Chains A and B, each alone.
Chain A
Amino acid sequence: MIPLGYILGFSALLFGLGLYGALTRRNAIRMVMSIELMLNAVNVNFLAFSRYLNPGDPRGSIWAIFVMTVAAAEVALGLAIILMLSRRQDDIDVDKVHSLQG
């Protein structure tokens, strides 16, 4: 059996990688990918705690499923915005985006 600490360590490292990517990358699509990695790490934590502290309780899984649903919605909208930006200024460097008006 895997000790809980190992799984939490894995999710902390995954979250750290995602955080680093989201803070340093200027390409908007890569930022979205990094955010997805962070959300994955959160899901691992939800499931690990529910599995070890209260086995047989499906609530950890259910919250993970809701996180996935929100992540899907976020990616759909985020990419639509990024696509619009890329069509208008042929660049998706987030530092160069100043205008938020349609």
Chain B
Amino acid sequence: MNTTLLAFFIVAFISLVAAWRVITDPSILHAGLWMGLSFVGVAGIFLLLEAEFLAGVQVLVYVGAITTIILFGIMLSDVGEVRVGPEPPGWVQAGAAWHRGLRHAFPLLVAAGFAGTMLGLYTQSGWGQLRERPLELAGLSVGGIGRELFSTFALPFEIASLVLLAALLGAIVLAMREEER
């Protein structure tokens, strides 16, 4: 086993465990921090694929900005997840457990079915044997990405700016209306 493969396994494992904790951690603030760790793991995968610029962008946008704004959202909405109420009687708890089991059975089936189908397809397709070819020139460098971005992708680039503008205006309108109440 070579070093790259070993590094891939470690990074993928950290990222998946962190993603699992995002769903299961009882404290939502901790879940937000685990999400940041999972994003760092994905950035590591990008780095292993020799896409340095994308790894940097992943850290800048996902770890730096999206995790921050979600942590802000958690603190501003101050909604804890665990509500301690009076202890319900035993049969209610059993019913709740049964209900919860039903609630989770179908999504579990869907998610596991999806992941299983994709894994099956990937093994069928023969892509699994495909090896990495050496990178031609500096295609994934900032320059290569920038040249393509400002020629072929000029229109999507301007539309991205429109999308950001719409998000900015919409969120300001929503938040300001709330502040005035």
Whether A and B touch directly in their complex, counting CB atoms under 8 A apart, is answered as: yes
Contact across chains for B73 and A82 when beta carbons are under 8 A apart? yes
Question: What CA separation (Å) do A11 and B7 show in the bound complex?
Answer: 16
* A89 CB, min distance to chain B CBs, angstroms: 10
Q: Are the CB atoms of A51 and B77 closer together than 8 Å?
A: no
Number of chain B residues whose Cβ lies closer than 8 Å to a Cβ of chain A? 90
Given known contacts A33-B35, A77-B167, A90-B79, A5 and B122 CB-to-CB distance under 8 angstroms: yes
B52 to chain A, nearest CB (A): 10
CB contacts (< 8 Å) of A51 on chain B: these are 49-51, 132, 140
Q: Is the CB of B23 within 8 A of A34?
A: yes
Asked if A77 meets B19 with Cβ closer than 8 Å, knowing A15-B114, A19-B110, the reply is no
B58 in contact with A9 (CB, 8 Å): no
Greatest chain B CB density within 10 A among A33, A52, A62, A73 is at A33
Shortest CB distance B50–A (Å): 7
- Assuming the contacts A14-B15, A27-B79, A64-B54, asked whether A2 and B111 have C-beta atoms less than 8 A apart, the reply is no
Docked Cα-Cα span, A17 to B16, in Å, equals 8
Does B92 reach chain A (CB closer than 8 Å)? no
Size of chain A's interface in residues, with CB distance under 8 A?
71
Cβ–Cβ contact A68 & B62, under 8 A: yes
Most A CB within 10 A of own CB, among B81, B134, B177: B81
Q: How far is the CA of A50 from the CA of B114 in the complex (A)?
A: 23
Contact with B along A64-92 (1 / 0, CB 8 A): 11101111111111011111101100111
Query: Beta-carbon contacts of B122-141 to A below 8 Å, as 1s and 0s?
Result: 11000111111111110110
Q: Which of B50, B153, B170 contacts A62 (CB 8 A)?
A: B153
Q: Which residues of B contact A53 (CB under 8 A)?
A: 130
Q: Are B70's CB and A62's CB within 8 A?
A: no
A-chain residues with CB within 8 Å of residue B135 when the two chains form the complex: 55-56
Find out whether the CB atom of A92 lies under 8 angstroms from the CB atom of B31: no
Residues of A within 8 Å of B153, CB to CB, are 62
CB pair B49–A3 under 8 Å, yes or no, is no
Interface residues of A (CB under 8 A from B): 1-10, 12-21, 23-25, 27, 29-30, 32-34, 36-37, 40, 43-44, 47-48, 51-53, 55-59, 61-62, 64-66, 68-77, 79-84, 86-87, 90-92, 102
Given contacts A1-B2, A25-B23, A77-B167, 17 further A-B contacts (CB under 8 A): A6-B12, A14-B16, A14-B19, A20-B23, A29-B73, A29-B74, A32-B73, A36-B35, A43-B58, A44-B42, A52-B133, A56-B144, A61-B140, A65-B57, A69-B164, A73-B163, A80-B175
3 A-B pairs with least C-beta separation? A5-B128, A16-B115, A56-B139
